[in-house]
Amino acid sequence: MPKNKWSRHLALPMLSFVLILAACTGDDTSTEESGGETGTDGGQELENGGMYSIDDFSNVKTNEGEAIDGGTITFGLVSDTVFEGTLNWNFYSGAPDAEILEWFDEGLLTWDENYVYTNDGAATYEVSEDGRTFTFKIGDNVNWHDGEPVTAEDWLFAHEVIGNPDYDGPRYNSDFTNIEGMEEYNSGSADTISGIEVIDDKTLSITYIESTPSLLTGSIWSYPLAKHIFGDMSVADISSSPEVRENPIGFGPFKVDSIVPGESVTLTKNEDYWRGEPNLDGVTIKVISSSTVVQELETGGVDLISEFPVDQFPDNAEMSNVEYLGAIDRAYTYIGFKLGTWDAESNTVAYDPEAKMNDVALRQAMWHAVDNATVGERFYNGLRWNATTLIPPSHPEFHDDSNEGRTYDPEAANQLLEDAGYVDTDGDGLREDPEGNPLEINFISMTGGDTAEPLAQYYVQSWEAVGLKVNLEMLEFNSFYDRVGNGGEDDPTVDVFQAAWGVGIDVDPSGLYGANAIYNFARWENEDNERLLAEGRSAESFDLAYRQEVYNEWQQLMVDEVPVFPTLYRAVLSPVNDRVLNYAIGDGTEVYLNELAVSAESPVTAK
Amino acid sequence: MWKLIVRRTLITIPQIIVLSILVFILAQAMPGDALTGLIDPSIDPATIEAMRERLGLNNPWYVQYFEWVKGVLQGDFGQSFRFKMPVSELIGERIINTMWLSLATLVLTYLIAIPLGIISGRFNDTWLDRAITGYTYIGFAAPLFIFALVMLFIFGFQLAWFPTSGSVAPGTEPGTFAYFISKLNHLLLPALSMALITTVSTVQYLRSEIIDTKQKDFIVTARAKGASESRVYNRHVLRNSLLPIAAFFGYEITGLIGGTIFIENIFGYPGMGELFLSSISLRDYSVMTALVLLFGLAAIIGALLSDIILSLVDPRIRIK
């Protein structure tokens, strides 16, 4: 549950990480898995054809049995590395750290299933007429673990630390520069942040420069920093201080009791928790590797886990002691076309109308040529499925269900290419470009996991089937993004690439497809696109229906223009031991960790 | 004698320098850096560039290298980008785990290898010897990481005799007896898995030494003088066969390094090997270079140790 507007910095490094490690220790896991597949798949295939659908999963645990008093559970942090141990929301950068933070600290604001801030969190808010000034009131019973109240001063302090030039974490971004006076404070020309005002102990007001609907969906920094603890430290020292690494503090349902660096954390309940005393006496968090996660679950070594490796699901769908919860991941895989370069001088996209891929018919045809529904079934047993638009269904308010994207239709692909002048003139079965020159398209994709290469090969073959010659190159994560132009230096030999984005809770896609966005890897620029992106975050877009309309239009524009096209949406699965009660994954479920309980002293083990 | 040791030690100095330069060049040649993974549209690319500048990632390799050497000479390996703590502290945390694991593995290796080697050598070409050599062939052929996974599966998960991850039970108070027992308990399975594989070369080595020695003239003489069979083996054969094994000790250390990298990753045991792999994939350069240097040092010192022991036990080496 990443808390900031964009969670990509979580998704991507983690993804890369899992993949790279999978490559290093690839032999052992693949042996295990392929052995399992041949052994058990046969039986399952008979029952359900080996196919699953996210619609069959609930994201809330069914409660069976009565809760017992107290009890403890074990949470498995599935990670092939240890956790970093930067245990403070204001400084953390790794996903495993965030998983631990969830248990003992939280934001002052909560949100509903559409990721819009609600007024039932630790703090409530009011918005001024012009939509720029937010007044927050922190609950009177919200206290730090050491008994000190969480104050407006603490919230201001978090902003001051992140805005400080010595701050060494990754949080200082457009959410902060949108606060009045923040840039002056950051550059040192002001001693205070003029836009933030402490009204009394528990009341804070923040004035933003620009009013946008994004403010309500994650752009407010809601993690206070305990000033009575960190106030005397120099900003550069906070992230490595023992108060962050060894004795972290929060105001969440559990308190940190002890930490074994990198491998485990034990927590005890915070009796003074503002939502009410937690049911459980404590929680143990331990790191487990993705190759042993199934055994840990079966033997009851863990009750809950952070993330289940979806590729192991078909072999373990019948695990008898757990219930699988499922949700739609805020992410999609896509194929992008290189349509220009990055202009580092002016920090904009330099769109190149002469680029090899710059024929919209060619791009449309390449989308029509691939059968993503089959890819999802063959490679992921239905746990990834055909993507239609660039706003995934994890955002049900804005994902346009009626837009079918471009369906698999090789006939249409051939027709499009034919009409655009891509015809086979020399009779080798492959099309030449409209000038009659040989057409060779260079496609790069990332290594990692067992399916990465076969999947990329599948796309190459699909394109070949409509007469396009595509050369595939598989690259390791770092080389891949180097060549795609992560740092602004695009490799001119790359024409097409396959990558993935995790999307933030705010739906605004301008950080990925705007002309000023360095992550607009397609290097695509379009007037309508700029207009729609601006409308989507304008003050008028506070009106939901208006914003939906804007984004529907934008989704259609991307289907027409195809600077990139989405290929697969994804499921996240989370097995939960049968004895666990009151648990849910995803957002806005209104099931909170203090309600978490167990129905037996020890975990149920698999039969 | 001392001359040889001093001379041999001096040779290691250029070895270490070359090693450190190589490590640096290779690290530089890797695509991407610690900030490549920070692909986040809400972070201004200028901020990332500023971080890069501050971390010195934009400097040419030799500038970074000299900065690094300067720090290392003062005992400062820099700051880990990922863990946000000094590398020396981070390694200090992990090196203890790895040391215990290596020590346990060494002890287990010799506990297994010496009796097996002796039996195998003394009774060569019996069924007992064939069984033992059979085991060593399997040991040579089995990849360590697959063997470790099998061990983990059987003893960790099926029989549940040993914990399956971590180096100590969560929440155990450091310094207590329970803490020590828990540490030991977490250590045994990985150490045993590794020892069962690394032991096979020592068994083979010892076996052939014994077979070789027992046909030597002085053994025949001892027998002729009426020495009992056990006296022949314990006093004469064994003493002469064990010395080369002692010399092998240094190289054993080198072998352990590679082994711990696999073992620690499989058993989720937070030691240096685990740290090493993850720092490579995340391009945490300061940690990676410090570790390669340490591993390299251990290998060089291991070889040095072996040479010194060998020169002590085998006078022929000294004459040069």
Q: CATH number of the domain that A375 lies in?
A: 3.10.105.10
Residues A529 and A588 in one domain: no
Residues A402 and A461 in one domain: yes
| DSSP letter, residue A283 | E
Strands (E) located in A490-559: 496-502
Q: Which residue has the higher pLDDT, A402 or B156?
A: A402
> Which residue type occupies A2?
P
pLDDT for the residue numbered A36:
30
Specify the residue for token string 């269904």.
A393
Buried b (16+ CB within 10 A) or exposed e, A137-175: bbbeebbbbeeebbbbbbbbbbbbbbbbeebbbbbbbbb
Position A28 in a domain: no
In chain B, count of helices (H) and strands (E)? Answer: 13, 0
* C-alpha pair distances (Å), B193 with each of B10, B161, B190, B248: 37, 14, 5, 20
Judged against a pLDDT cut of 70, whether residue B281 lies above it is answered with yes
Judged against a pLDDT cut of 70, whether residue B178 lies above it is answered with yes
pLDDT for the residue numbered B318:
59
Tell me how far apart the alpha carbons of residues A270 and B201 are, in angstroms, rounded to a whole number: 55
* C-alpha pair distances (Å), A603 with each of A253, A366, B157: 22, 50, 15
Q: Compute the nearest-CA separation of B203 from chain A (Å).
A: 27
Residues with Cβ < 8 Å from B16, sequence gap 6 or more? B293, B296, B297, B300
Q: Compute the nearest-CA separation of B23 from chain A (Å).
A: 19
Question: Testing the interface with A: which of B28, B35, B38, B39 to mutate, by most A Cβ within 10 A?
Answer: B39
| Interface list for B 189-248 with A (CB within 8 A) | none
Position A400 in a domain: yes
| Displacement of CA B30 from its chain's centroid (Å) | 25
Structure tokens at A18: 């899992």
Residues A377 and A488 in one domain: yes
Structure tokens at A63: 């409660």
Position A46 in a domain: no
Task: Count the Cβ atoms, other than its own, within 10 Å of residue B317.
Answer: 14
Residues with Cβ < 8 Å from A560, sequence gap 6 or more? A360
Tell me how far apart the alpha carbons of residues A452 and A472 are, in angstroms, rounded to a whole number: 12
Alpha helices (H) along B74-126: 87-122
Contact between residue B103 and residue B192 where contact means Cβ atoms under 8 Å apart: no
Buried b (16+ CB within 10 A) or exposed e, A569-588: bbbbbbbbbbbbbbbbbbbe
Q: Compute the nearest-CA separation of B83 from chain A (Å).
A: 5
User: Strands across the sheet with A123-127, in order?
Assistant: A123-127, A133-138, A203-207, A196-200
Q: Compute the nearest-CA separation of B21 from chain A (Å).
A: 23
Residues with Cβ < 8 Å from B122, sequence gap 6 or more? B210, B214, B233, B237
H or E element, residue A561 = helix A544-561
Q: Which long-range contacts (CB under 8 A, 24 or more apart) does B45-50 make?
A: B45/A347, B45/A487, B45/A488, B45/A518, B47/A172, B47/A173
Tell me how far apart the alpha carbons of residues A373 and A385 are, in angstroms, rounded to a whole number: 6
| Displacement of CA B182 from its chain's centroid (Å) | 23
Contact between residue A283 and residue A55 where contact means Cβ atoms under 8 Å apart: no
Residues A334 and A317 in one domain: no
Residues A491 and A522 in one domain: yes
Tell me how far apart the alpha carbons of residues A209 and A195 are, in angstroms, rounded to a whole number: 9
Residues of B with Cβ-Cβ distance to A81 under 8 angstroms: 274, 278, 282
- Whether residues A479 and B32 touch (CB distance < 8 A) is answered with yes
Residues A264 and A241 in one domain: no
Judged against a pLDDT cut of 80, whether residue B1 lies above it is answered with no
Residues A217 and A261 in one domain: no
Q: Measured between CB atoms, which of A4, A91, A488 is closest to B45?
A: A488
Tell me how far apart the alpha carbons of residues A122 and B68 are, in angstroms, rounded to a whole number: 47
Judged against a pLDDT cut of 80, whether residue B47 lies above it is answered with no
Q: Measured between CB atoms, which of A84, A264, A301 is closest to B83?
A: A84
- CA torsion A82-A86-A91-A94 (nearest 10°) is 10
User: Taking all residues of chain B, what is their mean pLDDT, rounded to a whole number?
Assistant: 84
Q: What share of chain B has pLDDT > 70, as a percent?
A: 97
Structure tokens at A267: 């927590």
Residues A280 and A356 in one domain: no
* C-alpha pair distances (Å), A18 with each of A309, A450, A576, B117, B320: 10, 12, 22, 42, 54
- Whether residues B166 and A32 touch (CB distance < 8 A) is answered with no
pLDDT, averaged in runs of 10, over chain A (607 residues): 37 31 28 31 47 89 89 90 87 87 94 89 92 94 95 96 87 88 92 94 94 88 95 91 92 93 91 94 90 89 91 89 93 94 88 90 95 92 94 93 93 94 88 90 88 92 94 90 85 93 87 89 93 91 92 96 94 94 89 93 89
Question: Among A464, A412, A472, which residue's Cα sits nearest to residue A447?
Answer: A472
Question: Among A102, A104, A131, A125, which residue's Cα sits nearest to residue A10?
Answer: A102
CATH of the domain at A121: 3.90.76.10
* A187, A220, A247 - which closes a domain: A247
Residues A125 and A178 in one domain: yes
| DSSP letter, residue A599 | S
**pLDDT tens sequence across B10-41:** 888 888 888 888 888 887 887 777 777 777 77
B289/A contact by beta carbon, under 8 A: no
Residues A396 and A489 in one domain: yes
Give whichever of A420-424, B47-51, B173-177 has the largest mean pLDDT: A420-424
A94/B contact by beta carbon, under 8 A: yes
pLDDT for the residue numbered B317:
61
Judged against a pLDDT cut of 90, whether residue B271 lies above it is answered with no
Residues of A with Cβ-Cβ distance to B146 under 8 angstroms: 27-28, 31
pTM, two decimals, is: 0.81
Judged against a pLDDT cut of 90, whether residue B83 lies above it is answered with no
B38/A contact by beta carbon, under 8 A: yes
Q: Measured between CB atoms, which of A260, A477, A482 is closest to B168?
A: A260
| DSSP letter, residue B86 | B
Buried b (16+ CB within 10 A) or exposed e, B219-230: beebeeeeeeee
Tell me how far apart the alpha carbons of residues A342 and A345 are, in angstroms, rounded to a whole number: 9
Contact between residue B253 and residue B296 where contact means Cβ atoms under 8 Å apart: no
> Which residue type occupies A567?
T
| Interface list for B 110-149 with A (CB within 8 A) | 143, 145-146, 149
Tell me how far apart the alpha carbons of residues A148 and B309 are, in angstroms, rounded to a whole number: 63
Q: Compute the nearest-CA separation of A276 from chain B (Å).
A: 25
ipTM of this predicted structure: 0.75
Q: Which residues pair with A323 in a beta bridge?
A: A576
CATH of the domain at A259: 3.40.190.10
Question: Among A452, A334, A471, which residue's Cα sits nearest to residue A391?
Answer: A334
Residue B135: which pLDDT band, with cuts at 50, 70 and 90?
Answer: very high
Judged against a pLDDT cut of 70, whether residue B175 lies above it is answered with yes
Q: Measured between CB atoms, which of B39, B149, B152 is closest to A12?
A: B39
Position A50 in a domain: no
Structure tokens at A468: 């396009």
Q: Which residues pair with A342 in a beta bridge?
A: A349
* A247, A273, A288 - which closes a domain: A247
A5 CB-side CA count, 13 A: 27
> Which residue type occupies A414?
N
Q: Compute the nearest-CA separation of B122 from chain A (Å).
A: 38
What's the structural domain count of chain A? 3
Structure tokens at B315: 């006078």
- Torsions phi, psi of A581, nearest 5? -120, 155
A264/B contact by beta carbon, under 8 A: yes
- Whether residues A27 and B270 touch (CB distance < 8 A) is answered with no
A508 CB-side CA count, 13 A: 30
Question: Testing the interface with A: which of B42, B275, B280, B283 to mutate, by most A Cβ within 10 A?
Answer: B42
Position A263 in a domain: yes
Residues A260 and A235 in one domain: no
B92-282 belongs to CATH 3.40.920.10: no
Position A462 in a domain: yes
Position A33 in a domain: no
Position A145 in a domain: yes
Domain span holding position A228: 106-247
Task: Count the Cβ atoms, other than its own, within 10 Å of residue A429.
Answer: 9
* B78 phi-psi bin (left φ>0, alpha ψ -120 to 50, beta other): left
pLDDT for the residue numbered A35:
30
Specify the residue for token string 């060049």.
B25
A289/B contact by beta carbon, under 8 A: yes
Judged against a pLDDT cut of 60, whether residue B143 lies above it is answered with yes
B82/A contact by beta carbon, under 8 A: yes
pLDDT for the residue numbered B267:
85
- CA torsion A535-A537-A541-A547 (nearest 10°) is 70
**pLDDT tens sequence across B204-250:** 888 888 888 888 888 888 888 888 888 888 778 887 787 777 777 87
| DSSP letter, residue A20 | H
Task: Count the Cβ atoms, other than its own, within 10 Å of residue A301.
Answer: 22
Question: Among A320, A297, A319, A318, which residue's Cα sits nearest to residue A307?
Answer: A297
Q: Measured between CB atoms, which of B43, B86, B146 is closest to A31?
A: B146
Residues A260 and A311 in one domain: yes
The sign of the CA dihedral B28, B34, B38, B44 is: negative
Q: Compute the nearest-CA separation of B22 from chain A (Å).
A: 21
Structure tokens at A148: 């000190």
